[in-house]
Amino acid sequence: MSDDLTSRKCTPCQGGIPPLGKDEAEALLAQAPGWLLAGSGKRLERSFLFKNFREAFDFVVAVGELAETQGHHPDISFGWGWATVSWQTKKIKGLHENDFIMAAKTSALAESHHP
Ligand SMILES: C[C@H](O)[C@H](O)[C@H]1CNC2=NC(N)=NC(=O)C2=N1
């Protein structure tokens, strides 16, 4: 991997470290308002509501662009006026602090998409 910060990818995405335990994940959840642990504590999920399809779609595109810049990618489902975003570090089949950072960034994007 390059030294260039702009080209670095999520370190936990390379695997080889343990996922967060339930207690650790629950503690971090306090800093991620609105997010819930799903999949027996292996995923972080939140649903967002929007005024229409376009706003939901634009939000999904913005989260996708964020994912590409960060090298860490969510599972997203969406439809007319809603989107559900799920974060997990797939390489470790569970959660890492990075997922909580991405969740916080996702929430900030949602706020800017329905002012
Ligand atoms: C090489 C590449 O960076 C990795 O495969 C990344 C890509 N994006 C990823 N995203 C997520 N959510 N989990 C991963 O383990 C992951 N791995």
Task: Please determine, for the modelled complex, whether the ipTM score is greater than 0.90.
Answer: yes
SS3 label, residue 85: strand
The reply to whether ligand 1 has any atom less than 6 angstroms from the CB of 93 is: no
Place of tokens 């090298």: 71
The reply to whether ligand 1 has any atom less than 6 angstroms from the CB of 106 is: no
Single pTM value for the model: 0.92
Most informative mutation of 72, 75, 85, 96 for ligand 1 (most atoms within 8 A of CB): 72
CATH of 19-113, one of 2.120.10.90, 3.40.190.10, 3.30.1360.20, 3.30.2350.10: 3.30.1360.20
Structure confidence by residue, pLDDT tens digits, 11-48: 888 899 999 999 999 999 999 999 999 999 999 999 99
Domain boundaries of the chain, sorted by first residue: 19-113
